[in-house]
Amino acid sequence: MNYFDLDGVVADWVAGFEAAFDININEFNELDKAERHEYKKLLSYDFFRNLPVIAHGVAMFNDYVAEHGIENVAILSAHGDYNVTEVIEAKIEWVKEHLSADVAVFLVPKLEDKAFFATEDDLLIDDRERAVDAFVAAGGRAILFV
């Protein structure tokens, strides 16, 4: 299976975040964990549902679908700790609108949990090194999306 992360690969989480808050992503990343979580608590349905498209990520996704078939390409994304039901619903609806209603969507609590999907035949395309490293350590293959 070819797995694509959602946030940061096909959906622009950073642009959405910077539009929603009066802080840029570099400032956010410099905050301590507790302060970052205060922002994350505010991310709910509307935030995830309205994330802008990353055009080159969607183009790559579509290329994989054309080459491997829709049944062999899926979204694998983390839903996080806050507003879980809303986030899951928003991500599924985002995929239906911007990719296809036929795309399988797998959501896990934490990005490292994507490793549970890893076998030697599986590929993950993700923008987070922690997810890529965990997936590879579990036996899968991965590409860091930049």
Residue 103: which CATH number?
Answer: 3.40.50.1000
Measured CA to CA, the distance from residue 84 to residue 92 in angstroms comes to 12
For the chain, the residue count is: 146
pLDDT for position 30 = 97
Q: What's the DSSP call for residue 92?
A: H
Tens of pLDDT, residue by residue over 47-72, are 999 999 999 999 999 999 999 999 99
- State which residues form the domain around 11: 2-144
Query: Are 133 and 139 within 8 A, CB to CB?
Result: no
Query: For the chain, what is the domain count?
Result: 1
Which residues are CB-neighbours of 19 under 8 A, at least 6 positions away? none
pTM: 0.94
Tens of pLDDT, residue by residue over 71-93, are 999 999 999 999 999 999 999 99
Tokens of 112: 């490292």
Q: Is 2 left (phi over 0), alpha (psi -120 to 50) or beta?
A: beta
Tens of pLDDT, residue by residue over 2-54, are 999 999 999 999 999 999 999 999 999 999 999 999 999 999 999 999 999 99
pLDDT tier at 144, thresholds 50, 70, 90: very high
Cα dihedral across residues 37, 39, 42, 46: positive or negative = negative
